Structures are given as C-alpha cells and as structure tokens.
Amino acid sequence: MDQEQIQITEAAKWFFFSGGPGAPRYGDDPTKHAVDHDSEAFVREVIQNANDQGLQNDDPVEVTFRFVALTGDEKEEFLKGLGWENGLGERMRSVADTHNGHRYERVVERVNDPDAELRLLIIEDRNTTGLTGSWDEDSNYAALVRDELYSSKQDDTAGGSYGLGKSVLWTFSGASTVVFNSHLAHGERESDSPRLIARSKFPTHQLPADDTTYQGAGWLCQPIETDDGPRPESFWGEGASRLAEQLHVERPAVNGTSAMVVEFQDPTRDERPDVEELAQEFVDASVKYFWPAIYRGDLEITVETPDETLTADVENAPAIRPFVEAYEKRTTDAQTLVTPGDVAGLDIPVKLPPRADGSETPAGSVRLSARLASPADDDSYLNNVALFRGAGMVVKYYDQSRVAYGDRNFFGVLAAGEARPEGAPSESDREIDRFLRFAEPPEHDEWESTENLREQYQRGFRMALDDMFGTLRDGLRHLISKGNNSESLSDNVLNRFPIHGSGNPRATTSPAETVFEIDSSSRFDGDAWTISGRIKVLPEEFGGWSADISLTGVGEDGSQYDDIPIKHVKIEQAGVTASYDDGRAHLVADEYVDEVSFSGRSHPNETADLVHGDVGATQLEIFAELQTPEEDQS
Amino acid sequence: MTETELHRLTEDGRRLVGESFMEGEATLTEEQLNEYVEPMPGNPTADLDRIDSAVQQVLEQYPEYDTAIDGALAEEIHRGLDITRRTAGDPGLWHWLAVVRYPDLVRHRWEYRSEEAMREKFLGAGSDLYSNAIHRLWWIAQLTSRQDDYSTTDAVFANQTMVNKVFDRWFARYQPAVRAMCDELAGESSRVIDETTRRFNHALTNVQLEGLSEAEASEMIEQIVVESR
C-alpha cells in the first residue's frame, strides 16, 4: 500500500446521523420485511433495477453477478478498506449486543475467525446510467444511497416504480452493508468517475462510549460540512478507484454501477450453500424471469464464481424454451393448434380509462399466443401464461391449468405494451405499458388494482384489468380447443374476437376489434364447391379495402392441405374488381363500397370421389383488410 | 426366460435428463435415479433379458445412426415386452426404458442434433407414437404385427418414409387401417406414400374411420394408391 492510499483509507470514515432525543427508533430496516426473500426474488429485483437504468441506445444492459471468497491476508486487506477498525466493527459489535442484533453476531465471529471465509457478491451492470446526481436532489444516487422506498427510474416503461427492489441488497448482506462503485453516464461530475460510497442499514443503536442514539443508516464516506449540517460525500476519481480495488469492487470504465453485498447470505436459509449451487440458481432465476429481455437482445446476464462463468441463455433452458417459441411466433395467423409444437395467437383488445388529468387514452390490444405442449417438453411451467410488458421481465406465470384438457396442454405468453409488436410500438402499446406498470404492486409480480393506478387513471381501471384477464381466459380456451369449427365457440368468444368465416354475422363497436362483418357459406354440389358470402365494412370512414378468398382442404387430424383453386367469383356491386392468383380470389373495393355480396365456384372435378380423398372437409377463409384514410389497418 | 419387474420414471425424474446426459457425456447414478424410479401399477413384468441381448447385438453390429436398427429391434422389443396397451400407455414406463435401461441404445440410434429433438427421443411418449425411441418401436410393432407374424412390421421399417408418413397421422392409432395402409404401400415410392396418406386423411373427413374393417380399408386405400401413382 503506498502513501496516497493510506491517506485515503484514513480519510474514509463511517458516518451515522444521530437521532436526537425522541427520534423514531427502528428495530431493523423496515424495507427488509416488504418482499419475499429467497434468492429468486433477489435476482429478480436486482436485475430489474439494472434493466430499468438502461441507457437509450441499441446496446444491451449487461449484468454480471460475481462471487468472491476472501480468506487470510485478502480478508484482512478488505476489512481494512471497509473501515472495520475505523467505526464499522465497533458499530456492529454494539448492534450485535442489542436484542435485535443476533444476526450480526455471526458476522463478527466470521470476521474474527482467521479460518472463516468472507463471501462477497458483486453485481456489476454496464450500459446503465450509474449513480448520477447529488445527495440533496431527486436522483439515482439519492434514491439508492439516501432514501427508503423511493424510486427514481428512467421512464414510463421501467420495471420498477416503488424503490423497494434495491432494499434486497441489504437484506442479503449478513453485515447489512453494501458498497457502490459507479461510472456516471451524465451529470455535472461525470468526468470525476468513478464514484464510491458504502452504506449500512443497522437498527437504531448506541455506542458504549457515549449516550447518543444513532440512526441505523451509516455511510463509509468523506463527511463534509454543509449549510444544512454534516453530509456524507462519496469518494471520487483516483481515490475511489484505489479504494474500489482494495474492496474488490473495481470495474471497467464503462457506464453503470457495481454494487457489492458484504458477506452474502440468503436470509431464508440456515445452511450456507456452496457458490456453484448459488450460481446455478442465479442463472435459472435470471432466465425464468428475464427471458423476454434476453431473447430480444436487451439484456445479457452472466454469473461468475472463482471456478466458472455461466451465461443466462434462453436456448439452454428446457423449462423456458416453449415460452420463447410461443413468443417468437406470436404474430402467426394460426388460431388453432393441431400438433405438439404448434403456435397460435389472438389479439386481446384492451380499453383503458382516461388518465387522471382527463386526457383520453387510445384503445389497443395485447397479444396472446400459446404453444401446444408435447410430452417431451419440460413441464415445470406447463399450462401457465407468462405475462410481461416492455421491460422484458415476466411479471408472473399465470396458472391456467383449468383450461387444459386431455392431452391439450400448453405454454402461453401474453406480450403486452412495448413487448407486443415486432417493430416500433404504437401509441396504444406505450399507454398500455404505462398502465400495466402502475398496475404492478411493489413486488412487481401481479397486474392488479393499485393505489398508483388510482392516482394515474380515472375510474374504470379495475374494469379494464378484469376485462383483459377475462378475454385472456376466453381467448386461451379458444386457442386450446380442438378443431377449428368456429360455430362451436360461445357467442361470448365470438363477440370478443375478430374471427372471420362461417357462422352468424356479428359486429362489435370497439375500434380495436372487428372492422368487418362477414357472413359466408360453402357447399359441394357434385363436382365443385359453390361459395357465397357478404362482407360489410363497419366504420363510417375508410379509404378502400380488399379481401382474399380461399378454399383449403383439411385432413381428419386437422392438418391443412393445398388450396382448392377458385375458378371465378361474381360480384353484384360496382367499384369492386376481382383477380385470381394461385387459386385464390382477390377483391379490391374503393372507398365508396361499404358492402359486397359475392358468389363463386371452384374448378370442377367431375370424377371427384368422396371416399378417395378428392373431396373432404374444406375451409372457406376470408381475410379482409381495411385502409383507413391515413394508414393501413387489418 | 426370466421376467423382470417393470418400473416407471416419475414426472419429477424427467428433470434429471439434461444436455450432458443426452449427449452421453454424463451418466446418471443409481443413487440419483432411485428416488425417481417406482414400480408400475399392477406390477407387470417383461423379458428384459431378451431385449438386453438384442440391444447388445445391435450396439456391436450396427454403425451409429443406422436406420436399420429400427427393423432389427422392433420385433425383439415387442416380443420381450408382452404388456397390455394400458401399461404401454404410461409414459413413465418408456422414460424408464430410455433413460435408465437403454440410454446407450437411444444415443446409438439417434444423432444428437438439438437438445429439443433428443429430449423427445428420451422423454417423448403418450399419444405421440413417433416420439420416444423405444415407445415408437413397440407401438409400431404392436399396430402392424399379426400374432407371430411381423412381416408387415419389417416392411414398414424397411422404408423410413412409411414410418414417417403413416405413423405421424391420427389414423395410425386404428389397427385395421394402419395394417391395410402398410400392406398397400409396401414397395411404393415416397411420392406415392406421401400422396396416399394425404388423400386418405382427407377422405376420413367423410368416412368414419372406426367403422372400417381391414378389408374395407384395404379396398379404399388400394384405389387411392392407383390414383396417386
């Protein structure tokens, strides 16, 4: 250790505010009790915090969990840097003596036992904002280092909005102490990076030498005097770098934060699992909850132990892969599932109430897709629907086993908000994302009616959620049901979805739903199929429209065969042209035609035989597309 | 002949099957497996010695990934496993056979192309005839043999297009139709097999499959084969 570093370490002090007489006393950090505390919850909260702080560029957020085990001289050196003999050790011994402090006794023992190992967990994120801002303002820094239950997140799509998630860092520290080292992406002191500070969260305590009652929060810092009294100030630049190295929390000079949990331990476990086991749990939890973000290339997660480096890879997680496939193919036109592995999907209309300030919200939809399970699939999350939005974190696996029957098991995905489209999100996607974010409770594991929703939206938010889930369940039932006979669907389902084909005419009024009313019939008259139908445009204003009419043979097991070529289609109205391509009829109507009746015939096959596979179950499909004056819409 | 009691791998046991096991880089110890292996309901038994020696012979005599392995083993597996369809309907039995008894055979017959595909060979079964490596051989033999006559079974396995196109269809569960189909298609080209199975599947939207006798199915398929050529 050279001269300069000795000075830094000496300047480093543990600073605690004195509570003063009558100040509230905390038995322990109150936020520690607010969320479930298994290591899965830890990984979820920590990654979500990093994911929310992602910079607005095309690069992914990278998160590395690094386990470090310290013994002997390394441990000594680390404790020196952490100021163990410079305030921290004394505090912890005092706290351990109080009736709330038993957990700290074990840490004190571990520190004093030369053979015991000290376990550090460093969570290093890259391509994130870093701890910007100062103590006295509303900033990332203040939210993490100063405040409790307070959030300062990037934008409306962020995963968290409660400020609770970060508390898990202290919950999983046996010493209730976390060190931060950060490279700032912007702000006044960006060029002074890195920035280092450590924070402890103890119960309220007294020291044996004085009568002062200290608040539980303490900082390893350079205390400075301000007009408002003493304040903890971070270490900056070269000094911070050197201390970071001593504390094993050094990081490359890229934007983001490294947080180090001192003496990592899972508060829900009695035993101390080995690091390899923990690493695998971390990888599993990362993939389980963040596969949408990983799949979209927005997030990369690795876990390092002294012996190996593991990567959270969606391809190598059999329990998750079926969901990834359902998401990958979510835009499919298929609405029926025939063989295991098939994916089918539906739009679930969502109608939001106006915002609290009275501004109207656009109607939109979320995308439901389901993949039919095969017996070979890993069934850990069988018959669940993964719910997520733009942040790319699975909010929950929604158990819908009631919908499954026989061998019709499935893996479902509800891609909402900015996670729905393949390209740029629409205005309604963004609004739905925002709405659902406010519908998440502090644990971010549900979409439900919350105080936040009440503050942000007018009445009707509860019904909007109930409707979405109701339609989701009906839609799922439709996708999972066998066969594609739309007549077997309940009116309830028919009224909710824009499904065309045979059946009774039906109309809906929501702009996100059907824009056509379609009625059709088909029959085999001995040597050819005759078809007829009516297509009616529902909106009053439109810029013209088109429709594709096709006939497809279907097998006993539901598999679809080649098109049965349509020979001609006759239309009564003027303003409509018909053309034929590859056996399909294509109608184009101008903006003055709001209803068309057609009749037609397939190419005749005089030798057609019912038992030799010439003629059989046949599907008449009509796919119509409407042009609004500004844009295309189906 | 010695009869061995049959077992099943429990659903939780499926999670033991990971990538390295399927690739043959790792093995599962008895200790690991014990917790997840249980006797079959009704305690059925089978002549596994017979299958053991047939498998041993195949491993020694056939090159890896040789499709001829199917034909060489189907009859032996079916004769060795003289079980009811009810017993055969339990996926756990096939998982035990593939994962615990004969993992080397599965790896010898099926090249590891992707985790997903290989998983199906070890852990498929249930209503999908074509999935689990051993289940597939037993069921195809079950559906195509007539008492001691396995000539149709042999004909099917001599042509992988037939295995693929016939046994991937729903009608393959109905024995009279599947026997008729296999007999009529013996010796036909892949194109004819493809077209005939497609047309038959389409015709079954008009004709009730389970109402057909083997002779009626044969007559129907014979005509379709002629039209498909």
Percent of chain A with pLDDT over 70: 86
Question: Is A612 within 8 Å of B125 when comparing Cβ atoms?
Answer: no
Task: Specify the pLDDT at position A420.
Answer: 95
How far is the C-alpha of A154 from the C-alpha of A139, rounded, in Å? 10
Question: Is A318 within 8 Å of B227 when comparing Cβ atoms?
Answer: no
Task: Specify the pLDDT at position A217.
Answer: 80
Question: Is A374 within 8 Å of B207 when comparing Cβ atoms?
Answer: no
Q: Are strands A410-415 and A384-388 parallel, antiparallel or unpaired?
A: parallel
Nearest to B224 among A375, A378, A613 (CB): A613
User: Per-residue pLDDT for B76 more than 90?
Assistant: yes
Q: Is A556 inside a domain boundary?
A: yes
User: Per-residue pLDDT for A557 more than 70?
Assistant: yes
Task: Specify the pLDDT at position A1.
Answer: 43
The minimum CA-CA distance between B137 and chain A, rounded to whole Å, is 17
Do A518 and A472 belong to one domain? no
Question: Is A555 within 8 Å of B209 when comparing Cβ atoms?
Answer: no
Measured CA angle at A493 (ends A487, A498), to 5 deg: 85
Task: Specify the pLDDT at position A504.
Answer: 38
Domain count, chain A: 3
Q: At B131, is the pLDDT very low, low, confident or very high (cuts 50, 70, 90)?
A: confident
Question: Is B200 within 8 Å of A561 when comparing Cβ atoms?
Answer: no
pLDDT digits (tens, 9 = 90+) for B164-183: 889 888 898 899 999 999 99
Tell me what the mean pLDDT of segment A195-214 comes to.
82
Asked if B158 reaches chain A (Cβ–Cβ under 8 Å), the answer is: no
User: Per-residue pLDDT for A10 more than 60?
Assistant: no
Q: Which residues of B touch A616 (CB under 8 A)?
A: 202-206
Nearest to B205 among A340, A380, A617 (CB): A617
Nearest to B123 among A376, A613, A614 (CB): A376
Do A523 and A468 belong to one domain? no
Tell me what the mean pLDDT of segment B196-202 comes to.
92
Q: Which residues of A touch B199 (CB under 8 A)?
A: 612-614
What's the ipTM? 0.76
Q: Which residues of B touch A407 (CB under 8 A)?
A: 126-127
Indicate which of B202, B210, B227 best probes the interface with A, i.e. most A CBs within 10 Å of its own CB.
B202
pLDDT digits (tens, 9 = 90+) for B114-125: 888 899 999 988
CB-based contact A145:A221 (threshold 8 Å) = no
Task: Specify the pLDDT at position A212.
Answer: 77
How far is the C-alpha of B184 from the C-alpha of B225, rounded, in Å? 8
Task: Specify the pLDDT at position B116.
Answer: 83
Percent of chain A with pLDDT over 90: 38
Task: Specify the pLDDT at position A629.
Answer: 65
User: Per-residue pLDDT for A618 more than 70?
Assistant: yes
Do A173 and A106 belong to one domain? yes
The minimum CA-CA distance between A294 and chain B, rounded to whole Å, is 20
Counted across chains A and B, CB pairs separated by less than 8 A come out at: 93
Q: At B83, is the pLDDT very low, low, confident or very high (cuts 50, 70, 90)?
A: very high
Task: Specify the pLDDT at position B173.
Answer: 86
Nearest to A318 among B115, B199, B204 (CB): B115
Last residue of a domain, one of A292, A314, A336: A314
pLDDT digits (tens, 9 = 90+) for A210-230: 777 777 788 888 888 888 777
Task: Specify the pLDDT at position A165.
Answer: 53
Q: Which residues of B touch A614 (CB under 8 A)?
A: 199
Helices (H), A405-490: 427-438, 451-456, 461-480
Question: Is B14 within 8 Å of A610 when comparing Cβ atoms?
Answer: no
User: Per-residue pLDDT for A488 more than 50?
Assistant: no
Residues in chain A whose Cβ is within 8 Å of chain B = 316, 318, 321, 340, 374-380, 407, 553-557, 559, 561, 610-617
Task: Specify the pLDDT at position A156.
Answer: 46
pLDDT digits (tens, 9 = 90+) for A597-614: 999 999 988 778 888 888
Do A239 and A341 belong to one domain? no
Q: At A434, is the pLDDT very low, low, confident or very high (cuts 50, 70, 90)?
A: very high
Sign of CA dihedral A591, A597, A601, A602: positive
Last residue of a domain, one of A295, A314, A333: A314
Q: Is A491 inside a domain boundary?
A: no
Do A507 and A478 belong to one domain? no
Task: Specify the pLDDT at position A35.
Answer: 44
Task: Average the pLDDT over each of A173-177, A268-272, A490-494, B30-34 and give the range with the smallest value.
Answer: A490-494
Question: Is A555 within 8 Å of B201 when comparing Cβ atoms?
Answer: yes
Question: Is A612 within 8 Å of B224 when comparing Cβ atoms?
Answer: yes
Q: Which residues of A touch B128 (CB under 8 A)?
A: 340, 374-376
Do A48 and A68 belong to one domain? yes
Q: Are strands A364-372 and A195-201 parallel, antiparallel or unpaired?
A: unpaired
Asked if B139 reaches chain A (Cβ–Cβ under 8 Å), the answer is: no
* Closest chain A residue to B199, measured at CA: A613
Nearest to A554 among B126, B205, B207 (CB): B205
Do A459 and A524 belong to one domain? no
Q: Which residue has the higher pLDDT, A362 or A151?
A: A362
| Residue A622 identity (one-letter amino acid) | I
pLDDT digits (tens, 9 = 90+) for A34-63: 445 588 888 998 898 888 888 888 899 999
Do A16 and A75 belong to one domain? yes
Do A460 and A388 belong to one domain? yes
The minimum CA-CA distance between A371 and chain B, rounded to whole Å, is 15
Task: Please report, for chain B, how many H helices and E strands are present, in that order.
Answer: 14, 4
Beta bridge partners of A264: A173
Asked if B14 reaches chain A (Cβ–Cβ under 8 Å), the answer is: yes
Last residue of a domain, one of A461, A485, A509: A485
Q: Which residues of A touch B11 (CB under 8 A)?
A: 379
Question: Is B206 within 8 Å of A610 when comparing Cβ atoms?
Answer: yes
* Closest chain A residue to B13, measured at CA: A378
Do A277 and A352 belong to one domain? no
Task: Specify the pLDDT at position A50.
Answer: 84
Residues in B 51-90 with any Cβ partner in A closer than 8 A:
none
- Collapsing DSSP to helix, strand or coil, A522 comes out as strand
Residues 6+ apart with CB under 8 A from B133: B98, B105, B106, B109, B110, B121, B122
Q: Is A261 inside a domain boundary?
A: yes
Q: CATH number, domain at A579?
A: 2.60.40.1170
Average pLDDT, chain A: 82
Do A67 and A204 belong to one domain? yes
| Residue A203 identity (one-letter amino acid) | P
Question: Is A559 within 8 Å of B201 when comparing Cβ atoms?
Answer: yes
User: What is the domain range of residue A340?
Assistant: 318-485
Q: At A309, is the pLDDT very low, low, confident or very high (cuts 50, 70, 90)?
A: very high
Asked if B45 reaches chain A (Cβ–Cβ under 8 Å), the answer is: no
The minimum CA-CA distance between B100 and chain A, rounded to whole Å, is 16
Task: Average the pLDDT over each of A75-89, A139-153, A265-279, B184-198 and give the range with the smallest value.
Answer: A139-153
- Collapsing DSSP to helix, strand or coil, A475 comes out as helix
Asked if B37 reaches chain A (Cβ–Cβ under 8 Å), the answer is: no
Q: Is A230 inside a domain boundary?
A: yes
Measured from the Cβ of residue A224, the count of other Cβ atoms closer than 10 Å reads: 11
Q: Is A282 inside a domain boundary?
A: yes
The minimum CA-CA distance between A401 and chain B, rounded to whole Å, is 17
Q: Is A70 inside a domain boundary?
A: yes
Q: Is A492 inside a domain boundary?
A: no
Task: Specify the pLDDT at position A630.
Answer: 57
pLDDT digits (tens, 9 = 90+) for A146-185: 765 444 444 444 444 444 456 788 889 988 899 999 888 8
Question: Between the CA of residue A153 and those of A51, A88, A128, A159, A443, what are the distances in Å?
Answer: 10, 31, 11, 9, 16
Task: Specify the pLDDT at position A206.
Answer: 80
- Collapsing DSSP to helix, strand or coil, A198 comes out as strand
Task: Average the pLDDT over each of A230-234, A285-289, B36-40 and give the range with the smallest value.
Answer: A230-234
Do A60 and A188 belong to one domain? yes
Does the pTM of the predicted model rise above 0.80? no
